[in-house]
Structures are given as structure tokens and as C-alpha cells.
Amino acid sequence: MNKKKYYPLFGLMAFIILFQLFSSFSGKEFLLIQLTMCAYYSMVIIALCTLMGYAGQISLGHAAFFAIGGYTTAVLTTLNLIPDKDNFFISLFNSLGFLSLRVNPYGIEILHFSPWIALVVAVVITYVISFIIGIPILKLKGHYLAMATLGFGTIIYRVLLGGKIFGEADGISDIPEFNIFNLLKINGDNADRIENYYAAWFIVVISMLLLINLIHSRVGRALRSLHGNEHAANSIGVNPARYKLFVFTLSAVMAAVGGVFMTHFSGSIGPGEAGVLKSVRYVAIVAVGGMANIWGALIMGIILNYLSLRGYLGSYDEAIFGVILVLIMLFTPDGIFKAGNFGSIKNFIFSKIFKKA
Amino acid sequence: MSYEQLLQYVFSGITNGSIYAITGIGFNIIYNTTGIINFAQGEFLMLGGMTSITFSRYFPLPIAVALAVIVTAIVGALIDFLVIRNLKKQSILFMIIVTIGLSILLQEAALHIWDEKVRSLPFFTGDEISSINIFGAYISPQVLWVVLICSIIVAVLTVFFKYTATGRSMRACSSNVIAARLCGINSKNMITLSFTLSAAIGALAGAVVSPITQTQYDCGTSLAIKGFAVAILGGLGNSIGAVAGGIVIGLLESLSISILPLAYKDAVSISILLLILFVKPSGLFGKKEISALKDF
């Protein structure tokens, strides 16, 4: 069996650990916060990479799935059920352990759904939405597909922006922590940031493992054949509609899981997470990483999101993503990790050195 | 709903509809030549609006608008010269990504050249409170300007694409680039021309709608989505269809306000877009035989 495909995974884990050690020893643990956020955004990026790079289906609405996940958990864990405490369903939920009670900083008791339930509901909702929207949308191709997914993303954005329950333009804040068996708390506390950092990257590593296996499996080959030529794939027994729907729902759910944990980590969420520019940013990162290159997408996702979250890009934040998109498409449409690129750079440097020598 | 109220809704629907139609037409020109959708079309409108507002400080209005159209047309030509022409992979996926990148770039450039303030051109005739009474409902004279310019553009374009040699060569490039080249058409120049033309029309549209919708650096995206919805509804490439589609969407949108909250206005029109894409991607007026040959 070929184990080579898992080697980069060890590289990733080594990087995660080294970065943590480096930041702890140099007393810059605050750097981990942005890297934790990067991890959650990476979920969307690797999910989108599978959909776009391997199956060849563009989605300009992937931020919407991230936001659906985030908002589902935000609504469920901040909705106060105390007034309806005696309702039959609520008391049933309570006795089943679906609810949890907390006291907010103002001393008011809040009875809300537990984050576990919220996670499950978020996954189910995202799955159902992506399934329902996926059936008609994935029949479309090219710019029709791009526009339809963009339209879907815009609708979600508008609904989040206009909905009372979603906090309108302010979004939802004061979201409780996600307590995992009392071992680990997904929250924004400074004391817990190393645990949070590892938790986030654990989720990413598991997802990468799943996706690598998927890509190298029969399903993965079927997906790539769809990208190449749908009719040819169909003629050798690959059902395009089924496989496209499968990868679409899978990547939507992965994005939503990222959204759920990100929301608990940052403690708040706003409608901007579903915005068109966010979706475009994810597409840009996948394109830079080289479409059908899940590692390239992940690496560029970490670098670009990190720079952007640290604020190094300043007021040119969006502009840089635009420039990247145009330059990559112009000069190396297969991404900057294309095999030939580093070779030619190396040759270029060597030729300079030898000329001087 | 009283008769006057209904009429008022209808007029506001027509107002929005003609704005969307004039945006949708710009998509059609590039689609007619290249078969691609230019996701930066909305930014041409924004640029047209912004530059004409700046020029209107120094020049009388007609000259300012004309200068804005020229400047934006040059930007359109440059986009093709610098980017589209040099693309290594001309597949639809890459075209979509590159035009999205351009749209972000133009937006951010506008943000840095101007600022994030909302501006608008002065009304072409009268001012914001002047209105014309038609059958008991009120309508701003600027709407008549939009409708007038929209109809002139549609008429000129229809004649241009149907009866002139250049227009026909442009359409030939869309159906089959290689065949068009074999007939001696310089397809690259035709694409440059189509970008120039659609930028110019976008700028004119952006200037004429500016007093009503107002112009801001990021106003392009939402206009472009509506414009695209309208272009799809009327059948891509069909300018008269775009106008009809624009009025249909405008009317549905303004009638939806009487039922749903205003915040969902955009969601309504985009839902219509999705519905059309799912049910009849060739558009309301697309022919079955033609759409059977196309890949949606």
C-alpha cells in the first residue's frame, strides 16, 4: 500500500507543534489566536478545494455554508428558553440533557441548547440545505453555476442581515464556550489558547486525512473524471449528478463544521462571514494553491489568512486578493506550487550565481 | 391596495427594472462576442458614475458624462489588453476567476482614488423633489432619462449586432472562434472592442442611474447580480429580452415590498434568478432549439 500520500500530514503536524513551541518560548502566544482562526477557515478552503479542484464545480457561495454553521450554533446557544421552561418539548429536551444552563455576566439565567446539539443541528441543516440547493444548482455549468452559487450566497447574506433572530447587522455575540467532556473548552479565553490551538488543528488534520483518502479512492477518481469530461465519465459508469451532489454536500458540511467551532472560539458572528467577498477570498486561495492541490490550498490558506488576520495587509486587504487572482491566472494558472515553477526559479537563481562565479 | 398605490408600485418597479435592464445589456455585449460573463461589469457602472461625478465639478454635465464614458471605455480596453488577451488558459472557470479578480481590483482602486462616501450626480433635469404626475402616480424625471437612454442603447445595439459587418463578426466570434478566424475576422480585436463597448455602455448607465441609486465604490456588485439576473431572464445575448426581464424583475421586486420587509428585496430578485436558472436556463424568450445546442 502506498503510504506516501500521508507524508505531508506529518509535516503539517510537525509545523503545528513547532509553531506552538516557538510561540510559547518566545512569549508570543498571542500569535496562536490568529493561527487557530486560520485553522477554522482552512476547513472551508480544503472543502472548497475538493469541490472546485477535484470535481471541477465552482462555488461562489461557500462562505454561506460557513455562516449557516456558525449562525445555527449561535442562535441555538444564545436563545433563552427560560420563559418556555414549562413547555412540554422544552422540559423533554431538558430531561434528555439537550439543554444547558448558564448565568450571563449580568446575572441572568439562560437556558439554551447545548453546543453538542447545536453542532448536530448545524450539520443536519447544512446537509439538508446543500442537498436541496445542490440538486438543481449542480445541473448548471460554467458561469451559470458560478452565478447561481453567488446568488445563493447573496440570499443567505441578505437573510442573515435582515433577520431579527440573526441579530441583523450586529450579528450575534456572547456565545457560550463549547465544553468537550470537561477536557477542553472551545472559547476565546487567553488561558485556554494552547488547548484551543491544538483542538482546531486536530479537526483540520482529521479532515485532511479524510479528504486525502477520499481523493485517492474510487470516489476521488470518479470526481476527477467528472472534471475532465462529464460525458466520458458518464459513459464509463460514473453518475455525474450523484457524485457532484455527494462532494457538494460533503464540502458544505465541512465548511459548516468550521463555522460552528469558529463561532464558539470567537464568541460572536456577524453577517460579514457570509458576504460575497469572503466567498471570493476562498476561491482565490484555492486558485493560488493550484485548484486540484489540497496541500497547496491549505498552505496558501494558512499564509494568506494569517497575514490578513494579523493585519499586515492593512487597507489593501481585499485588493491583494484581487491582485493575486489576476496574477495567478495570468502567469501560472495551475497555482504557485506547480512542479515546474520551483524548478525554473532554481534554474534562474543558479544561472545568476554561475554567471557571477 | 388602492389604484394609485398599485400604480405607484408599478412605476417604482419600472424605475428599478430599467436600471437593471441597462446593467444587463452590458453583460450581453461581451457575452455576444466571447461567450463569457464579465463579472466586473458592475464595476464599469461604478467607475462611470464616479468619474462623471468628479468631472461634473469642472465641466457641464453632458461633457462630464461623455468624458466619463471615454475614460471607462479606455479602462475596459486596457483590461482586455493587459489581462484577458494574455490568459494562458481560456477556459470558462479561469475566465470567471480572473474577471472576479478584476472586479475586486477596480473596486479597491476606486476606494483608494475616491473614498467610501456615497455620492451622486445632480439630476439631469429638475431635482430630487421634482416629479411628473402620470395617471395619479408620481415619477421622477430622471426615470424618463433612464428609460430614454436604455431604449436608445437597445435600438442602436440591435441594429449594430444585426446589420453591421463589425457587429456580425463579433457575434461570429461567440458562436465559433476558429471558424470566425478562418473567415478573416480578427477575433482578438473583436474581444477588445466588445470590452471597450460594454465598458462605455456601463459607464453611461452608471452615470444616468447615479442620481437615483447613488454611487459608492462597492455599488457595482449588487447591480451586477441584478443585471445578470435580468440578462438570464431575457436570454443571454438578447438586449430586448434584457429590457423585458428587467421590467419583470423590477415589478416583482417592488410588489414584494408590500408583502415582505424591505430587507429581503434583494433576496426576492435573486430567488427569481435561481428559479429561472433551474427551470428554464435559456431565459423567458430563449428558443428551445437554440438552447438544446448550448451547454448550461
The alpha-carbon gap from B237 to the nearest alpha carbon of chain A, in Å, equals 14
Which residues on neighbouring strands pair with residue A102, listed in sequence order? A110
B291 at the A interface (CB within 8 A)?
Answer: no
> What pLDDT score was predicted for residue A127?
93
> What pLDDT score was predicted for residue B264?
76
The alpha-carbon gap from B105 to the nearest alpha carbon of chain A, in Å, equals 5
DSSP for B22-66 reads HHHHHHHHHHHHHS---TTHHHHHHHHHHHHHHHTTTS-HHHHHH
User: What mean pLDDT comes out for the span A102-117?
Assistant: 75
Give the residue from chain B lying closest to A278, CA to CA: B104
Q: Are B141 and B126 contacting, i.e. CB atoms less than 8 angstroms apart?
A: yes
Looking at the partner chain, which of A162, A315, A325 has a beta carbon nearest the beta carbon of B100? A325
- Kindly state the cell numbers that stand for A219: 470516489
The reply to whether residue B105 touches residue A319, judged by beta carbons under 8 angstroms, is yes
Residue A153: phi, psi to the nearest 5?
-60, -40
> What pLDDT score was predicted for residue B190?
87
* Residues whose CB falls within 8 Å of the CB of residue B29, separated by 6 or more in sequence, listed in order: B157, B194, B197, B198, B201
Q: Are A253 and A131 contacting, i.e. CB atoms less than 8 angstroms apart?
A: no
DSSP for B116-128 reads S--B-PPPSSS-T
> What pLDDT score was predicted for residue A308?
81
How many of the other CB atoms lie within 10 Å of CB of A43? 27
> What pLDDT score was predicted for residue B288?
60
Q: Are B10 and B248 contacting, i.e. CB atoms less than 8 angstroms apart?
A: no
In B, which residues are within 8 Å of A140 by CB distance?
Answer: 277, 281, 296
In A, which residues are within 8 Å of B112 by CB distance?
Answer: 315, 319
The alpha-carbon gap from A256 to the nearest alpha carbon of chain B, in Å, equals 21
- SS (HEC) of A143-171: HHHHHHHHHHHHHHHHHHHHCCCCCHHHC
> What pLDDT score was predicted for residue A200?
85
In B, which residues are within 8 Å of A283 by CB distance?
Answer: 97, 100
Q: Are A86 and A128 contacting, i.e. CB atoms less than 8 angstroms apart?
A: no
Q: Are A292 and A227 contacting, i.e. CB atoms less than 8 angstroms apart?
A: yes
> What pLDDT score was predicted for residue B67?
92
Domain chopping of chain A, boundaries:
18-356
* Residues whose CB falls within 8 Å of the CB of residue B89, separated by 6 or more in sequence, listed in order: A329, A333
User: What mean pLDDT comes out for the span A235-241?
Assistant: 82
Alpha helices in A82-114 (DSSP H): 88-96
Please give chain B's pLDDT, 296 residues, in tens: 677 778 888 888 888 888 888 888 888 888 877 777 888 888 998 999 899 989 888 888 889 999 999 999 999 999 888 888 888 777 777 888 888 888 888 888 888 888 878 888 788 777 767 777 777 777 778 888 888 888 888 888 888 888 998 888 888 887 788 888 888 888 888 888 888 998 999 899 888 888 887 788 878 887 888 888 888 888 777 778 888 888 888 888 888 877 777 777 777 878 887 887 777 777 777 666 665 555 55
- Kindly state the cell numbers that stand for B187: 477575433
The span from the CA of B195 to the CA of B38, in Å, is: 9
The span from the CA of A135 to the CA of A122, in Å, is: 20
- SS (HEC) of A173-211: CCCCCEEECCCEEECCCHHHHHHHHHHHHHHHHHHHHHH
Q: Indicate the SS3 state at residue B215.
A: strand
> What pLDDT score was predicted for residue A355?
57
Mutate to test the interface with A, among B225, B270, B280 (most CBs of A within 10 A): B270
In B, which residues are within 8 Å of A277 by CB distance?
Answer: 104
The span from the CA of A12 to the CA of B295, in Å, is: 41
Looking at the partner chain, which of A139, A144, A151 has a beta carbon nearest the beta carbon of B270? A151
Q: Which CATH class is domain A18-356?
A: mainly alpha
Q: Are A299 and A289 contacting, i.e. CB atoms less than 8 angstroms apart?
A: yes
The alpha-carbon gap from B46 to the nearest alpha carbon of chain A, in Å, equals 16
> What pLDDT score was predicted for residue A357?
46
User: What mean pLDDT comes out for the span A202-221?
Assistant: 87
Which residues on neighbouring strands pair with residue A281, listed in sequence order? none
Which residue, among A69, A55, A38, has the nearest Cα to A255 in the 3D structure? A69
Q: Is A18 exposed, middle or buried (0-12, 13-18, 19+ CB in 10 A)?
A: exposed
Measured CA angle at A333 (ends A329, A339), to 5 deg: 145
The span from the CA of B15 to the CA of B209, in Å, is: 10
Percent of chain A residues topping a pLDDT of 90:
7
User: What mean pLDDT comes out for the span A297-323?
Assistant: 80
Mutate to test the interface with B, among A54, A139, A144 (most CBs of B within 10 A): A144
Looking at the partner chain, which of A155, A287, A331 has a beta carbon nearest the beta carbon of B97? A287
Which residues 150-209 in chain A show a CB within 8 A of chain B? Answer: 150-152, 154-155, 158-159, 161-162, 168
B89 at the A interface (CB within 8 A)?
Answer: yes
The span from the CA of B154 to the CA of B292, in Å, is: 26
Report residue A199's pLDDT band, with 50, 70 and 90 as the boundaries.
confident
The span from the CA of B252 to the CA of B231, in Å, is: 16
A144 at the B interface (CB within 8 A)?
Answer: yes
The reply to whether residue B109 touches residue A319, judged by beta carbons under 8 angstroms, is yes
The reply to whether residue A148 touches residue B277, judged by beta carbons under 8 angstroms, is yes
Is it the case that residue A343 has pLDDT exceeding 70?
no
A313 at the B interface (CB within 8 A)?
Answer: no
Give the residue from chain A lying closest to B282, CA to CA: A144
B155 at the A interface (CB within 8 A)?
Answer: no
> What pLDDT score was predicted for residue B75?
92
The reply to whether residue A319 touches residue B104, judged by beta carbons under 8 angstroms, is yes
Question: How many CB pairs below 8 A link A and B?
Answer: 133
How many of the other CB atoms lie within 10 Å of CB of B195? 28
Residue B66 CB-half CA count within 13 A:
5
DSSP assignment letter at B260: S
A312 at the B interface (CB within 8 A)?
Answer: no
Percent of chain A residues topping a pLDDT of 70:
90
